[in-house]
Structure formats: C-alpha cells, structure tokens
Amino acid sequence: MKIITWFGTLTLDDGGKVVEWDMFSKDTDALAERLIQPKEADMDIPPAGFDIRAAAIECGFVASDDEYDNLLRDVSIRAAKKQISSGTPDMGIIQAVEALDDIDETANTLSERLAEWYGMYFPEVGLSSEPLARFVAKYGSRSNVSPDDRLYEKATSSMGAELTGLDEELVKGFAENICTLYDSRSRLEEYLVKSMETTAPNLVNIAGALIGARLVSMAGGLEKLARFPSSTIQVIGANRALFKHLRARAPSPKHGIIFNHPQIKNSPWWQRGKIARALAAKISLAVRMDVYSGGGLNESIKTELDAKIESIKATHPKPPKRESKGGSGKGKGEYKNKNKMQNKKAGGRR
C-alpha cells in the first residue's frame, strides 16, 4: 500500500508498517505548494489508527514531536496564504460586475441631478444620462453650441436662464465627473468581455459575456454555477417573483436575468418560457464544460440550442387559446332559469 502525506510518500506492508519512504524537501514553500495541490488518484488512504506523526519521526523527517508540530504549523499557514493570494479568475469577474452595478447606481443618481440642474438653463435639450453629460461637458453654456450641432437651433431660441461665470464652471465640471464614470463603465465592460472569453468561452457562446458574467456573480463563482441545476439557472435574478410565488401562490417565474438574452426578449410571450428552459439547460451544460472539461470552445452546444429554439417557434407559432373560467353561457342561463322556476313554485304553494 502506498500513501502520500504532507511530508513524503510512504509504502506500507499489510500490517500497516512503513517499509519504504520518499521524503520531500523541508523547504516550507515547497511543502505548502504540495499541500494545496490535488492528490494523485492512485494513492491509497492510510489505514485506521495509522500514526502519521510517528511515521515522520521513524523515517527521519523530523527529530521530535515539537519539530513536527512547528513545521506542520508553518506549512499550513503558508499554504493558507498561498490560497488566499492566488484567487481565481472568476473572483475578478464577480468584483467587476459588482463595481459595474455601483457605477450604474451612482451615475444614474448624478445624471438625474445634472438633468434637473442643467434644465434650468436649457430645458429644451431633450437629452438624459450619458448623452446629456457628454453635451454639457463639451459645451457648458448653450451659447457655446456650434452651428453644426443638431441642437444649435434649440440652443439659440431656448427660454432657459443664462448660464455664465461660476455656474457654468461648476455644472461643466460636474458633467465631466459623470463622463469619467461612464468611461470607467466602458472599461469594465471590456474587461468582463475579455475575462469571460478566456475563463468561460462556452458560457459566452451561449449566454453572451455580460449575461454570463452576471450569472457567475449571482452564483458566487463559476464552479458554484456549474453545480446549479438548469431549473435554478433559469430563475436566477427573479428572487422577488419567486418569493411572491412561494408566499402568495402567484404564478411561478419563467425566467430571471436570462430574459435579457435576445432569443427570449425578442420572442412572443407564449414562447419565452419554453425558450428560457432550453437556454438554461444549455447554459448549465456549457458552464460544466468550461469548469470540468477544459477543452475550449464546443460549437455543438450552440448549434443544438439554435435547433431547439427553431423547433419551439415552429411548434408554437400562435398563442394558446385561453379557456373562460365561468364555463359556457348556455349552462349558466339554464341554471338560473331552473332556480327561478323552483322559486315560483315554492311561492305558489305558500
């Protein structure tokens, strides 16, 4: 029997006694690196009651119990530090998605403030969010709008107040800060696309880089997402609708954030649930291939998904007919007339 320990490889006889050994170097970094590496599949586990500490002393790796304890402590601490510092690529993706959400929230709040502020001086501008911030950062006062700009006529005939002096400097600087946020958002999106294409190419091929990154973020990691069943992936992001369904017996949600996928969003309402189910199944398969196979991009998953969606659209070209809850009108009338006749007969008898 051959077993592997943190300090070396041991060969045991049938009685559990060490007959051969191959000790590793006493270098703390090397031992920590071996400790965090996956174990070899053909290695056996030690028998019940086997004393690893005594085996380390017997083989001459350490001279005493204290030396064994101190060295094992140092190696364990070093291994923990290596695991924390190394991280995984999907952790960077998660942080980028959360940073993207923070930027969106901040930029939206500041853009609303800019629209209200600049609206006092140019209410006819008709812009919002990023286009408004770019316009204000470029021109400042409406008197600076160039004749070749499409808003030149509105700017020259605006009924807003004049923006001059310190006010113009402040509002223009405010707009420039908002533009910086939008620039950071663009760089984050570029980072997410590149990172997802490298880390999860099959997921990107099925769901797209941004939807895939958000799925990874909500699941807590790529490997955790790979453990989810397709039914869970289908409703990730639909927490409110799911809780409402569980508490108030509302209809169960058919899709979560995967609704933003073009194949679902651009389809008729009666096909969306079926397409979402098919898409979630292929996302689950794609993620597992990215995590466990390591074989790169597999185009067959996308081909099968497209064929499945075309089949759904061909099978359900029209919306289903909805049955009336009250039944046929004839039955209701007959029931009412029968009750009237019974009431008349009862009244005559009295």
Rounded CA-CA distance 23/9 in Å is: 6
Band the pLDDT of 8: cuts 50, 70, 90.
confident
pLDDT in the model for residue 33: 84
Higher pLDDT, 79 or 279: 279
In CATH terms, the superfamily for domain 200-315 is Nop domain (1.10.246.90)
Confirm whether 2-86 and 200-315 share one CATH topology.
no
Rounded CA-CA distance 98/116 in Å is: 28
Of 25-34, 96-105, 221-230, 329-338, where does mean pLDDT reach its minimum?
A: 329-338
Rounded CA-CA distance 231/240 in Å is: 16
Return mean pLDDT, the chain. Answer: 85
154's tokens: 């509105």
Rounded CA-CA distance 220/213 in Å is: 11
Of 12-21, 24-33, 112-121, 141-150, where does mean pLDDT reach its minimum?
A: 12-21
Band the pLDDT of 336: cuts 50, 70, 90.
very low
Collect all residues with Cβ–Cβ distance below 8 Å to 270 and sequence separation of at least 6: 316, 319, 320
Does 185 score more than 70 pLDDT? Answer: yes
Question: pLDDT tens for residues 163-176?
Answer: 888 999 999 999 99
DSSP 138-187: HHSSGGG--TTSTTHHHHHT--SPP--HHHHHHHHHHHHHHHHHHHHHHH
pLDDT in the model for residue 129: 94
**Per-domain residue ranges for the chain?**
2-86, 90-193, 200-315
Question: pLDDT tens for residues 36-70?
Answer: 775 554 556 667 778 888 888 888 888 898 998 99
pLDDT in the model for residue 333: 47
CATH class for domain 2-86?
Answer: alpha beta
* Residue 12 · residue 47 · CB < 8 Å: yes
CATH class for domain 90-193?
Answer: mainly alpha
